[in-house]
Amino acid sequence: MKNLKLKSARAALDLSQQDLADKVGVSRQTINAIEKGDYNPTINLCRSICKVLGKTLDELFWEDE
Amino acid sequence: MKKSTVCTIAVICMLILIGLCAYVIHVESEKENKIISERITTVSVSQGTPDKEKSTLNLTVEKSGEYRAHFSWAPEGIKEKDFASYPASDLGFVTVLVLFNDKDEEIFATSGTVLNTAPVVELSAGTYRAEYIYVTTPEQYEKLAVDYLCGAYQAPLLAKELAPTFASLKADGTWNVQHEFRLVPSASYHSGQFYGVIFGLLIGICISVLMLAAMSTSKKIMESPKYDERQELERGRGFKLTFYVMLIFTGITFAFDMGGFFPEMDYSVLYVIGLFLSISVHVNYCIWHEAYFALNQKMSSVMTIFGFITLCNLVLVIFSVMDGSLYQNGHFSYSVLNLFCTLTFLSMFVTMLFKKRDVAKKNALIAEEDEEDE
């Protein structure tokens, strides 16, 4: 399932995938895979992304029913 | 200490060591006390059978000791170093060589087609007689091998292997055969091996010093490649896949080995091919899943290196095909490893090319999506 919340949060801050990847310390492909729903990140990476985007884990990674 | 100083010292040490080793090997080779006996015999062949059963060579050993014997026989004009480029059928019959002492006692016997190296033998000073017995049928070969005991274990195998071509090993006609029998003191072999090992060790040490010098002055080299968690996961999957590939390949090879198949290639070559296959699977998997290059590592520099390795090996393959050393006497030689090295690196290079195109497409798509979102 695509993670549109992450994509929109990133776009809101005018960050490209590469920018976010550099800030988090992963590859651009990994951010792309997370947004496309191809890869489930670990809790550590989720926290790093949340910190960079100024969101909570629930806001970015909690699936709505 | 500066990098350039360390490198200069290492290079000077290496040059001194190479010179020293070359000098020692040169002196040692001069000391080698080879005892060589050779002659040329005329043999007439009619319907695949030579007109004489054997040829004899006499030689004298002046000093008792351990010797390693080499013998060869081939049409006149063909040098030992050229044997590899001639098919066995052009060189002559299967030959059994027996060495007798002056009391007509058999010292050892061995067999082969054109060239053979016998085990180390203890010889006392005196005169010896080497007999080259020409063999034209598998039955004759087996009988001789049993008569002379030594080499008997080879007989059924060699006879079976050569049986279909035994009669056609040499075309009819009259031709000159050059026999050579060479005894080399065993000690010079041991010292040669010893200096070879020392030489290799010293070169290894020098290369290590050079690498350490480069590493100690470059932070970039000291840093281990950094992969993110997705890449680590994909690399793990790649290793798992490679493990299964290697397991299956080794299992199949072992089964063939036990069953006596694959006669056209040494098993040592086959196992190295397995290594190339495994490396190829792992690297291609990782490249395709974007887990081969560490963070911020450039693909283009690796592509250049891989392309260069592919080209170098390709040149070696072309040379070995041209001089016929790739496939000799119905067997693939070790040169076939260059071919597999070429294929391995070529596959990686091609995968990188496709991946580069794929990444460019994806990037364009992402850029479009980002623009739409804005």
Confidence (pLDDT) at B360: 86
Q: Tens of pLDDT along B167-225?
A: 434 566 776 777 777 777 766 555 566 667 777 777 777 777 777 777 666 665 556 66
Q: Which pLDDT value is given to residue B87?
A: 53
**B293 CA: distance to closest CA in chain A (Å):** 10
Which residues in chain B touch residue A25, judged by CB atoms under 8 angstroms apart? 228, 295
Closest Cα in chain B to A13: B374
Q: Which of B290, B362, B370 has its CB closest to that of A16? A: B370
- Interface predicted TM-score of the whole assembly (ipTM), two decimals: 0.88
Among B133, B159, B185, residue at a domain's last position? B185
Banded pLDDT at B160 (limits 50, 70, 90): low
Q: How many domains does chain B have?
A: 2
How far is the CA of A55 from the CAs of A3, A8, B262, B321, B366, in angstroms? 14, 12, 63, 64, 23
Given the DSSP bridges, would you call strands B35-46 and B49-50 parallel, antiparallel or unpaired?
A: antiparallel
Cβ neighbours of residue B193 closer than 8 Å, sequence gap 6 or more: none
Closest chain A CA to residue B292: A27
pLDDT tens per residue, range A11-61: 888 888 888 999 999 988 899 889 888 899 999 999 999 999 998 988 888
Q: How many residues does chain B have?
A: 374
Could you give the percent of chain A with pLDDT greater than 70? 97
Task: Using alpha carbons, select from A10, A36, A37 the residue that is nearest to residue A23.
Answer: A10
Interface check for A25 against chain B (CB to CB < 8 A): the answer is yes
pTM beyond 0.80? no
pLDDT bracket for residue B86 (50, 70, 90): low
Higher pLDDT, B253 or B354: B354
Both B145 and B281 in one domain: the answer is no
**Do B234 and B91 fall into the same domain?**
no
Cβ-defined contact of A11 to B370 (cutoff 8 Å): yes
Q: Look up the CATH number of the domain holding residue B44.
A: 2.60.120
Taking CA–CA distances from B293, the nearest residue in chain A reads A27
Indicate yes or no: CB of A11 within 8 angstroms of CB of B373: yes
Query: Domain end: B185, B214, B244, which one?
Result: B185
Give Cβ neighbours of residue B210 (< 8 Å, ≥ 6 apart).
B7, B10, B11, B14
Question: Does residue A16 belong to the interface with chain B, where contact is any CB pair within 8 Å?
Answer: yes
In a domain, residue B368? The reply is: yes
**B6 occurs within a structural domain:** no
Q: Which residues pair with B185 in a beta bridge?
A: B67
Among all residues of chain B, which has the CA nearest to that of A40?
B230
Range of the domain at B169: 33-185
Cβ contact, residue pair A26, B370, below 8 Å: no
Chain A hits for B230, CB-CB cut-off 8 Å, are 26-27, 29-30, 33, 39, 41
- In-domain check, residue A64: no
Residues of A whose CB is below 8 A from B292 = none
Mean pLDDT of B95-100: 77
What range defines the domain where residue A38 resides? 4-59
Same domain for B229 and B181: no
Cβ pair A7:B373 closer than 8 A: yes
- Of the partner residues B228, B362, B374, the one whose CB lies closest to the CB of residue A26: B228
Structure tokens at B173: 């006609």
CA B149 to each of CA B55, B123, B124, B154: distance values in angstroms, whole numbers, following the listed order: 20, 19, 22, 10
- pLDDT, one tens digit per residue, over B274-294 is 999 999 999 999 999 989 988
Name the domain boundary from B185, B205, B237.
Answer: B185
Whether chain B has a CB inside 8 Å of the CB on A31: the answer is no
In a domain, B98, yes or no: yes
Residue of A29, A46, A47 to mutate when probing chain B, most B C-beta within 10 A? A29
Residues B131 and B83 in one domain: yes
A65 occurs within a structural domain: no
The percentage of chain B sitting over the pLDDT mark of 70, rounded to a whole number, equals: 63
Is B228's CB within 8 Å of A11's CB?
no
Q: What is the CATH number of the domain that holds A8?
A: 1.10.260.40
For tokens 């495994």, name the residue.
B278
The residue whose two tokens read 């804005």 is B374
Q: Does one domain contain both B261 and B365?
A: yes
Residues B253 and B134 in one domain: no
pLDDT tens digits for B332-347? 878 888 999 999 999 9
